[in-house]
Amino acid sequence: MELDDVRAFVTVIDTGSISRAARDLYITQSAVTRRLQRLETSLGATLLDRRSRPIVLTGTGQCVLERCRRLLSDARDVQAAASGGGQPAGALRIGVSHALTEITLTDPVDAIRRDFPQIALRIQTGWSLDLIERVRSGSLDAAVILVPSDESLPAGVIGEIAGREQLVIVAPRGGKRPRVSALSDLDEVQWILSPEGCGTRVRLRRSLLRAGIDMRVSIETYNYELQLSLVARNCGLGFVPERILNRSRSRSALRMLRVPGLEFPLTIWTAYRQPLTGFEPVMAELNRELARKL
């Protein structure tokens, strides 16, 4: 039984598909399939029901999954112990929330590459809720995420606060300017938002529903700069982190709307698994650089 095969199996379960596992492992889909088949052959059992979409575990797969996670964790601990207290080495898997990728990690990555040359960074993006679950499951070592300020990290995950963020409603500065002073004024508004899966989009929808307003989304895109350029062209209202708005190329054509009942303070966390054997100095450096950047 090869560790690469075990890792492929765990990654398929954590990401929910062979294609996403291939992306995270930096290999082809056919290579992931071969590793799964090799693992099943070595164990003499079928681990995945490939007829289902999304892929689901068989009974045997459910029994061995947590043991596979422990095997991967133990292998990393052995590697860390073998380093003999020297420089941290190996692959460090970090997830970054979509809302933070455009502004957050450039300086921290430079610092880690400079101070820890034997560390290979594996950076993946996603929604904060998905990333925190992947930290809990062990498929990520750490994640830089956004959490509503009235919530804390879930059980089983520890972390440090790196900064604060505020979500703001954005409107065009010129042209037909919507008059918005209360939630009720948003009844006929068209929105330009991130796709489904975005936690802040869910909170916006809930706030509007409490006011009896059905949220109407006209355009969806992951790219915040594109969202803001469309808002500037009067295609709808946006809902973005204030830090991204202030750095946008379209900033001069945009304005923030302050609406009572739609305040969304967020906390930026660096969350990581326990134990983080051998990578503690790297995470300490990451936290310092993030705090300085933010």
User: Residue 82: is its pLDDT beyond 90?
Assistant: no
- The CATH 1.10.10.10 portion of the chain extends over 1-82
pLDDT in the model for residue 79:
67
What is the DSSP secondary-structure string of 44-86? TS--EETTSSS-EE-HHHHHHHHHHHHHHHHHHHHHHHHTTTS
* Lowest pLDDT segment from 72-76, 145-149, 202-206: 72-76
Question: What φ, ψ does residue 30 adopt, rounded to 5°?
Answer: -65, -35
Q: Boundaries of CATH 3.40.190.10 in the chain? A: 165-265
Per-residue pLDDT band for 255 (boundaries 50, 70, 90) equals: very high
Residue 77 gets the label, from left (phi > 0), alpha (psi -120 to 50) or beta, of alpha
State mean pLDDT over 158-183.
82
Q: Which residue has the higher pLDDT, 190 or 153?
A: 190
Is the pLDDT at 84 greater than 60? The verdict is no
Please compute the mean of the pLDDT values over residues 92-115 and round it to a whole number: 82
Q: What is the Cα–Cα distance from 109 to 121, expressed in whole angstroms? A: 8
pTM, 2 dp = 0.72
Can you tell me the distance from the alpha carbon of 48 to that of 57, in angstroms, rounded to the nearest whole number? 5
Q: Name the one residue in this structure whose structure tokens are 């499951």.
A: 137
Tell me the pLDDT of the chain averaged across its residues. 85
Q: What is the mean pLDDT of residues 60-85?
A: 76
pLDDT band for position 239 (cuts 50, 70, 90)? very high
DSSP 264: E
State mean pLDDT over 213-229.
Answer: 93
What is the end-to-end Cα distance of the chain in Å, rounded?
Answer: 44
Query: What is the residue-wise DSSP string for 207-219?
Result: HHHHTT---EEEE
The pLDDT value recorded for residue 103 is 63
| Selection from 190, 137, 174 nearest residue 254 by Cα | 174
Pairing of strands 254-257, 158-172: antiparallel
| Whether residue 167 has pLDDT greater than 60 | yes
Q: Is 234 left (phi over 0), alpha (psi -120 to 50) or beta?
A: left
The residue among 205 and 260 whose pLDDT is bigger is 205
**Between 91 and 192, residue with greater pLDDT:** 192
What CATH topology corresponds to 165-265? D-Maltodextrin-Binding Protein; domain 2 (3.40.190)
The predicted-structure confidence for 262-278, as pLDDT tens digits, reads as follows: 888 899 999 987 766 67
Of 1.10.3720.10, 1.20.272.10, 1.20.1060.10, 1.10.10.10, the CATH number of 1-82 is 1.10.10.10
CA–CA distance, 29 with 21 (Å, rounded to integer): 8
Q: What is the model's pLDDT at position 260?
A: 83
- Residue 180: is its pLDDT beyond 70? yes
What per-residue confidence (pLDDT) applies to 273?
A: 76
Predicted pLDDT at 178 = 58
Asked if the model's pLDDT at residue 87 lies above 90, the reply is no
